[in-house]
Amino acid sequence: VGSLLTLQDQDDSYDCVAKNSNTVCTLIVTYVTLTHIPGLEPETIRYELLKQKDQIISDLGKNDYDVRYVGDETLEAQIVVTLRGVPEEEMGDSEAKYFQDKLRNFLNNTMSSSGIQILSVRVDGQYVYKENKRTLQREEILHRRIQDSSVATVDVLTTVKGIHRPPPDVDFDELVEDSIDRESDKFQDELKSGCEEYFHDVDHIGSSSVMNNAHTRGKLDSNEGFLDEDGLDPQGGLQSGGGFLSQGSTKSEGGYETEGSQIEGKPQTEGLATDELNYGEDVSSEPENRSGIPDLPTSTTLPSSIGAIAAISEQQQSFSAGRRTW
């Protein structure tokens, strides 16, 4: 089943000041109603709608409106979160969702004073490798008993999306990395506090940018490339070597074979149910996929003089779902 979402921006803290005595500043409360794929969270949809603001402002400006956007700006960071002390295997679907939820809550708590709201965290890829515990103990924790066993480490390629209302402008990638590194012990405790046994023996957490991580940088330097968030090669088509595998896909000698059906770029209405939720409510859901969503049109803009509301259309586009690995 699907649903019909009604989003309302109830924030009245926008800076609305007329530029001169000949103009009037008007704030617009915008309602957006759209159909969507089952499992999408309101925060994800909000992010995608806000990404359309530049196009809306441009369209309004063509009609001689003096348009100035003073609302939330979208933020996106792609980082690598390193977890040491995990089983010698990748996170499954339940562990990945647990990790995403814990990291989103952790970042929201640590960044609340910066005026940043984290809307979504998505696991895009994983790389599991082993380090010699004898070496780690000699260099980092000499007071521990030396053991001959090895410890597994996983590098988790993670996309974090949020919103922020300037000023000031922020370096979101740096803020996310600093938040994890500065309070890594706290995040470690939160990961280990739940029922997911995958994280119970984690003894170190760190973060790095994609370009500063040896594994992700190696993929980029070797031109193996990464698939985009829809599981597609940005140059077109499915990648036949390197990159990420979408969940539900298998790799064959001829490339990638995708299991299951997909929506092929035309509006889908069959099987959609309806419900309404308020833009500002705390709404939880159990997403069936974590792949992101296609760009959605929006009717949200905040002009400084004369307001207008742009019509929106409903569309569904083809996209793949799920966790990826490299």
More confident residue, 199 or 304: 199
Q: Cα(6)–Cα(33) distance, rounded to whole angstroms?
A: 5
Predicted local confidence at residue 58, as pLDDT? 87
- Model confidence at 290, in pLDDT bands (50, 70, 90)? very low
State both tokens at 244.
């990420």
What mean pLDDT is reported for the chain? 68
Average pLDDT of span 89-94: 96
Does residue 205 contact residue 106 with C-beta atoms inside 8 Å?
Answer: no
Q: Cα(257)–Cα(250) distance, rounded to whole angstroms?
A: 5
Detail the DSSP E strand segments found in 169-244.
204-209
Predicted local confidence at residue 207, as pLDDT? 96
Closest CA to 119 of 248, 292, 268: 292
97-154, pLDDT tens digit by residue? 999 999 999 999 999 888 999 999 999 999 999 876 544 454 554 444 444 455 799 9
Q: Cα(38)–Cα(272) distance, rounded to whole angstroms?
A: 8
What number of other Cβ atoms are within 10 A of residue 255's Cβ?
Answer: 11
Give the DSSP per-residue string, 25-36.
------EEEEEE
Q: Cα(130)–Cα(125) distance, rounded to whole angstroms?
A: 17
More confident residue, 270 or 105: 105
Predicted local confidence at residue 23, as pLDDT? 78
H or E segment and range at residue 180? helix 172-182
Closest CA to 210 of 262, 132, 157: 157
Q: Cα(195)–Cα(216) distance, rounded to whole angstroms?
A: 30
Q: Which of 31-35, 70-74, 207-211 has the lowest mean pLDDT?
A: 31-35
The full set of domain ranges for the chain reads 3-258
More confident residue, 38 or 70: 38
What number of other Cβ atoms are within 10 A of residue 77's Cβ?
Answer: 22
For residue 76, the SS3 value is strand
Q: Which of 132-141, 169-178, 211-220, 276-285 has the lowest mean pLDDT?
A: 276-285
Predicted local confidence at residue 310, as pLDDT? 29
- In percent, how much of the chain has pLDDT > 90? 33
Q: Residues 6 or more apart from 109 whose CB is under 8 A from it? A: none
State both tokens at 233.
């090669």
State both tokens at 118.
């984290």
| Whether the model pTM is above 0.85 | no
Q: Sheet containing 73-86: give its strands across.
A: 116-132, 150-164, 73-86, 204-209
Q: Which of 27-31, 73-77, 316-320, 322-326 has the lowest mean pLDDT?
A: 316-320
| Cα dist from 198 to 208, 224, 306, whole Å | 22, 29, 55
Q: Cα(199)–Cα(192) distance, rounded to whole angstroms?
A: 5
Exposure b/e, 305-318, CB count within 10 A at least 16 = b:
bebeebebeeebbe
More confident residue, 238 or 32: 32
Q: Cα(1)–Cα(174) distance, rounded to whole angstroms?
A: 39
The alpha carbon of residue 8 and the mean position of all alpha carbons in its chain are separated, in whole angstroms, by 21
Q: Cα(254)–Cα(150) distance, rounded to whole angstroms?
A: 36
